[in-house]
Amino acid sequence: MDLRLGNRTLHVYDVGEGVPVFWHHGTPNLGLPPEPLFRPGVRWISYDRPGYGTSTPVPGRTVASAATDVAHIADELGISTFAVVGHSGGGPHALACAALLGDRVTGVVAAASMAPFDAPGLDPFAGMIASGQASLRAAMAGRAEKERYETSGVEYDPEFTETDLAALRGPWSFFDKVVPPALANGPGPLIDDDIAYVTPWGFDTASISVPILLLHGARDGIAPVSYAHWLAARIPGAELRVTAEDGHISVLNHAPAALDWLLG
């Protein structure tokens, strides 16, 4: 469905019945709920972030703005409390809900999440693949440079691990549905995402008081595992599960167990 928010639209997905769980997608993805995690008793709610699909672009949006969008969607659907799951670039947006929506959020799973680029004591590029560094350094240089970079014909190489490739051939072939069409309208939403990641997020992770589970693969070169260690040290009471052989995608093989944790 399309939800009107003032002069803009958010495209919202609402699948299943049961405990409401919001899904925050990565970059660049559409917001379709994660089919490999569908199960009885779970109602998946998600949306295309501004600029993706038919959601209206909002240049200059922050990570924190996701909490406002989620609150509007929950209100429209008559949902008072809900859990949240985010993967990759969806991780920061899930954490925004935890920080800013208070008692409405019962718990959060953030898989392969990024950490704030202004995080004290963290080198955001340590352990990151070369193409990821180039893309995010362009975002740090400002919108004009990021637009130049994304329209220069450069190709992003995710350098997926063998475990990632196996996951993409298996249940997480789901990404074939959400990645190719995500940039149908051009690189604008990816640019908005990346600039949001490398600029202040709009909340302090130390203020989070809801239960948090961080999933991360030790071989992740897209969002290095140092991000998860920093978040775990910064978020009071956060639980960290690092799997030694996993990368950026294969860590999601552990998402069903994380969903058990979340629903419990």
pLDDT digits (tens, 9 = 90+) for 126-175: 999 999 999 999 999 999 999 999 999 999 999 999 999 999 999 999 99
Residue 242 C-beta-side C-alpha neighbours within 13 Å: 14
Taking the CB of residue 247, how many other CB atoms lie within 10 A of it?
Answer: 26
Q: Whole-angstrom Cα distance, residue 247 to residue 215? A: 11
Please report, as a single letter, which amino acid is at residue 237: G
Domains defined along the chain, listed by start: 2-263 (3.40.50.1820)
Q: Which residue type occupies 43?
A: R
Phi-psi domain of 6 (left: phi exceeds 0; alpha: psi -120 through 50; beta: other): left
Residue 112: partners with Cβ closer than 8 Å, 6 or more residues away: 87, 88, 91, 215, 216, 217, 220, 222, 223, 248, 251, 252
Helix/strand/coil percentages in the chain, nearest 5:
40, 20, 40
Overall pTM surpassing 0.95 (yes/no): yes
* pLDDT tens profile 80-134: 999 999 999 999 999 999 999 989 999 999 999 999 999 999 999 999 999 999 9
